[in-house]
Every structure is written in structure tokens, then in C-alpha cells.
Chains A and B, each alone.
Chain A
Amino acid sequence: MSLHHELPPDKHEQLVKAVRLEWLSIVYLVTAVTLLYFTLGSSQAMKAAWVEDILGLTPPIAFLVASRVRNRKPNDRFPYGYHRATAIAYLCASVALLALGGFILYDSVSKLARFEHPPIDLVKPFGDRPVWLGWLMLGALAYSTVPQVILGRRKQPLAAELNDKVLYADAEMNRADWMTGVAAMLGIVGIGLGLWWADAVAASIISVDIVRDGAKNLRVAVDDLMDKEPTVVDDSRADPLPLWIKNELMLMDWVADAEVRLREEGHVFVGEAFVVPVDDTDLIGRMERANQRLRGLDWRLHELVIAAVREIDRPEPAREP
């Protein structure tokens, strides 16, 4: 019933661009994580920024894995294909984000409560001239912040074009990274000025942000695995496509009643349309033509099963909006 074209040709160029950006992100994040590792010292804020960057690797990896796996055709062992692999990876990553954010938050708050003063001493990275490690920390933080914000800005429009939620979440995280960077920098500058608490406060702020990111992503991942109704790429409202398909069906003269349910599989939608035909005349032919027409409505509609029924059993409206 379905052809395996997941992206229309005009979107292909955007996909290539997105893949290139995500590879760039991975290479860049690895260098940033390495740089931060060597300048961690005993700063909590640095540790938090470091962890955030490590976890920032998961969305690009998830995206790249997904962009390969989704081209794999369904087989007899996995008749629905491999789309869900990404959702599972995403679930794991968001749980990790939540747990690590929580740990750093606890660690920073308890350091504040114990009035722990972070020591930052000298290092000799360039031959014989010793430098205060704090200066190197600021440099490393700048390197781990500015390019991320730029990458995020470039990814966001692509995510919308490709209807890709992983890419969108990644772009959002990158764009929000300036906050982490500036908070961590203020923490280090605070230590420099003799404000011992600045570092732990900055780390707490960053870890709250990590926890929030984790919770947000966890919700999206769980929604996805539970086959929630499709939403637009920024998750702000329901996607109008199911309603549109239903209306198209209702407009067909052989259809007495219709109901459509879709779920998201990665960046595409699959689902069923139930129709109550007015009579049995040429039912198979009518359904085939309807399917062809509906599949032409939107590239994101990947697979639609039309089932003829005598009566439609409609789902109850959810209690919460």
C-alpha cells in the first residue's frame, strides 16, 4: 500500500544540509568537551557546562542514526520498520539528561550549604609562564558557547522544513546554550573577584536548565512512544493533517462518515482512516483512489490504511487539553 519515499525531492537538499550541520556539531562538541575537560579545575559551573555539552552530543547522534535507519525497509521481523529506534534512543538520552542535571543540582546546592570555597590555581600550558586557570576556563567556555548558538540558529529553519522533532529539539538546546555559557563565565569571574558562592550558584542555574531540558525531552519522547496525536514541529499545537484528511474523505460522495487517526513515526505520519461507505459498489476501487488522493495531500503522510466499517467507534475526548 505504501511507496518508500519518505522525503520529497525538494526536501532532500535540506536533509543533506542538516546531516552536514549535525556532523559539524558532533566534531565541534567533541573538541569543546575535550577543551572543557582539561580546564575543569574544581569549578562546579565548569562541570555543569561540561556535562551539558556531553549530553548535547545525543540529539545530533540520534538525528544521524535516524536519518540512516529510517531508510531501512520494514521486514518480516520488524513489519513497522525501524522508526521507533530513534524514539527509544531519545528516551534514554532524556532520562540521562534529567538524572545528571539532578545530580549536579544536588552537588552544587550542597556545596553552597557547606560554604565550600572553590580553589582555582595556576597552570603552565604554554611553557614556563604560569597562568591562572580561571582565564583558560573563560576561553574554553567562550569556545563552547558562541559556535553552538550559531549552529542552533542554522538548524532551526531546517528542522521546520524537514518536520524533524529531534533536529528541532537540538536546535533549541543549542540556541539556549548562550545562557549556560554566560552563567558559567559569571561563576568563574565571581571566583576571580573573591565571591566564592558565584560558582556554585552558576552551576545550580545551569543544572536547573539541564533538568528542564531533560524533563521537556522526556515528555516528548514518552508522548512519541505512546502514539500521541501528531503535533507541529515545535510541539505547540496539534497538527491539522488528520482533520484535513477527514474532511477530504467526508467530501467524497461515496463516504457517509469518516474518522482518521495518525501517529508520528520520526518525521512522518502513519495511521488509519475508517470510512462508512454509502453502499458496496466498487468499494475496493473507491478506497484505492481515495488512498492515492489522500497520500498526495502532504509528503509527511507516509502510510494510510483505509478500512471500510459499518459504524465508527469514536475515541472519547481527553480530559486535559
Chain B
Amino acid sequence: MGSPGAAGPVRRGRAALAAAVLLALAAAGCGIPRDPERTLDRVQGGTLRAGITASEPWTTLEGGRPGGVEVELVERFAGELGARVEWVDGSEADLMAALEVRELDLVVGGLTADTPWQAKAAITRSYATTRVVVAVPASQPPPGDIAGMRVAVEAGSDAAGILEDKTDAVPVRVADVTKVKDSPVVVDEWLLDNLGLRDTGVHLRKDKHVMAAPLGENAFLVRLERFLIAHQAEVPALLDAAAGR
């Protein structure tokens, strides 16, 4: 078990030294955390290299032009840093690979908090939460139960599968749910008002929306999160703008 207390005074000295170092750091703490690879310094007044993959309404690439809620947010963030955004489009896998080696500074594309890219990228706090809900026309009374009800749902969406497996409703797969009239339908919660629908209280999924930054570039990550926290209240308006288009 070793000899107890043999190096007592030395140990205490070292502990005191460590405490002093910590204290000094705390005093000088304003610049903490810093980036190991200086991403924030480089982006400020320079170029923000942002990766984008289309995922409506968060990101769109109509005619090759980036648009959507997250594009708007990233442009504003770059504006705060006095930076110009250089957009790179590609598949999520390509963009994350580029982010991992810091060839990109940011990736957007409807990413959610349960993204499988956690090991390759620093995932931000979520800045918006959305739900996919079963809705009925606002003119109809809310149903007590959706069992046996025929519900329109976008073909090829995971909501269709969830509706099939986890509820007793009968899914009717359609190409575009926004065109469905006078019928129960599965839509994003933020579309309810625009489409004149009422939430039945049955929620098929909940998504926490996030962005991805390079691993370990903590000053940049913290700056981005501060921006997102300050601007998350604007997200519903941006979503409405995207829906109204």
C-alpha cells in the first residue's frame, strides 16, 4: 500500500501551485474557451465556409441558390462576425467528412439532435423544436381517438411508417399533404395555421434542430451557440416565411 504521507509537504506544495494556476486562469477567463485551430479568428472579417444539404424548409437549393431558415440564420451569424459565407453543397456524408478535417466551418441541412454524426462533428444546442402531428381541418371538432381514422400522410416519409406501426389509424399515402382538403392529415406543427388545421394531440415525432461545427473548435462553437440562443425566437417567423413562399 505504499508508505503513507511520505511526500506530504511536497504534495501540498504541488496542490497549492495547481490551485494558484487555476486561480490565475479564472482571473484571465474572459478569452476562454479558445479554438485549437483558430477557426473563430479566421472567420471573423473573413470567410465562413458553410456546407449545405437540402432539407426543406430548413435549407433549400432552388436553382442552386441556398435558401431556407438555416441559410438565413447562417447569413445573419456571418454578418455578426463581419464574414462572407461561402456555400458548399453536397451529401451529408461528404459535408461531415469535410467538417471533420476542418475544410468546412459549419454544416446545415435540417440536422437534428439525434444525428449519427456526433463523433465527427460538434453538434450545437438545439435552437428549435418541431413536431409532426396528426391534424384535422379546423372546421371539424377534434376527434377523441384516431383509431380507425383514415389519415393522409406523405408517401415515403417516416411519419407514414410511424402512423402505420404505432397508431391504429389507417394511413393514406399521398404525394403532397398540403393539397389534401377536408381530411385528417399528418403535417408539421408549424404548418397548422397556414393550412387551416387543428392539432389532434397525437404527435408522431419531435425534432430538436441543430447545426454542426468542427470538433473541439470551442470558441467558434460557443459563439455560434450564443448567436442561436439570441435568435431562436425568430425561428417561427422564418418558418412562416418559408411556408408562405
Contacts and interface: CB of A to CB of B under 8 A. Distances in A.
A10 B241 CA distance: 81
A283 B176 CA distance: 104
Given A172-B2, A235-B1, A196 B125 contact: no
Interface of B: 1-4, 11, 14-15, 18, 21-22, 25, 29, 32-38, 122, 124-125, 213-219, 221-222, 225-226, 229
Given A182-B15, A196-B216, A156 B36 contact: no
A321 interface: no
Interface stretch (A77-85, A116-124, A248-256, A262-270): A116-124
A192 interface: yes
Nearest to B12: A178
A134 B222 CA distance: 11
Give the most central of A118, A124, A132: most B CB within 10 Å. A132
B25 A119 contact: no
A287 to B, nearest CB: 37
Contacts of A220: 1
A236 B216 contact: no
Given A168-B1, A185-B18, A117 B33 contact: no
Nearest to A193: B34
A321 B222 CA distance: 58
Given A121-B124, A121-B222, A194-B35, 17 more contacts: A117-B214, A118-B216, A119-B213, A120-B218, A121-B221, A130-B229, A169-B1, A175-B4, A191-B33, A192-B25, A192-B32, A192-B33, A193-B34, A194-B33, A194-B34, A216-B1, A236-B1
Contacts of A194: 33-36, 38, 218-219
Contact of B32 (A134, A172, A216): A134
B115 to A, nearest CB: 13
14 contacts: A117-B36, A117-B214, A117-B216, A117-B217, A121-B221, A122-B222, A135-B29, A185-B22, A189-B21, A189-B22, A192-B25, A194-B33, A234-B1, A236-B3
A20 B14 CA distance: 31
Nearest to B11: A178
Nearest to A198: B36
